Amino acid sequence: MTGYNHAMPQPYILVAGAAVLDVLATSLPLSPTPAPTGPIQPAPIHPGEVRLGVGGVACNMALNLHALGAPITFLTALNNTPFSQMIAHYLHQSGLRLRLETHKHLPDPVYCSLWQDGTLRQAVHTTALTDHEFHRSGLETAVRGAKAVLASAELSPTSLHTLAELAR
């Protein structure tokens, strides 16, 4: 288990699941007239806006509960690429206590969406926690002292089973 070493106060809510880099692209109309209602047509470049953020179902739950004042520990796994480092830095800066497993075999955790006229047209994601097995000792440490455990279904069946067993 690697990551930030924050003491976990008692009691806290453990949130387990993915954190991803959100890449949100919005295609702008090519002229002052309204954009066509059909699908985006192939072209070398579509003018638009691109925003980056940190998200993911479990990550969003952890951040929102933290914003409401709940003591949160967020358990996730990332690789060690610049994308993952950006995510870990953001979560650390947000004040979340992290239990972070780092594994080089994990893909970059990215969700990329393309929007046109307020409608999602395409989305691609590369989260792979369904194939990642958290270390039992790390799960035991994370669950110890938690008053509640929220686990995302994107975790592997074995990790979900182990969390449920430990949370009893």
Per-residue pLDDT tens over the stretch 138-152: 999 999 989 999 999
> Please, what is the Cα angle at 100 between 123 and 61, to 5 degrees?
55
List the one residue out of 106, 130, 115 whose CA is nearest residue 2: 106
CB 91 within 8 A of CB 77: no
- Total number of residues shown for the chain: 168
Q: How many of the other CB atoms lie within 10 Å of CB of 131?
A: 10
CB 113 within 8 A of CB 54: no
CB 139 within 8 A of CB 166: yes
pTM above 0.85, yes or no: no
Q: pLDDT at residue 98 above 80?
A: yes
User: Of 2-16, 20-34, 113-127, 154-168, which has the strongest mean pLDDT?
Assistant: 154-168
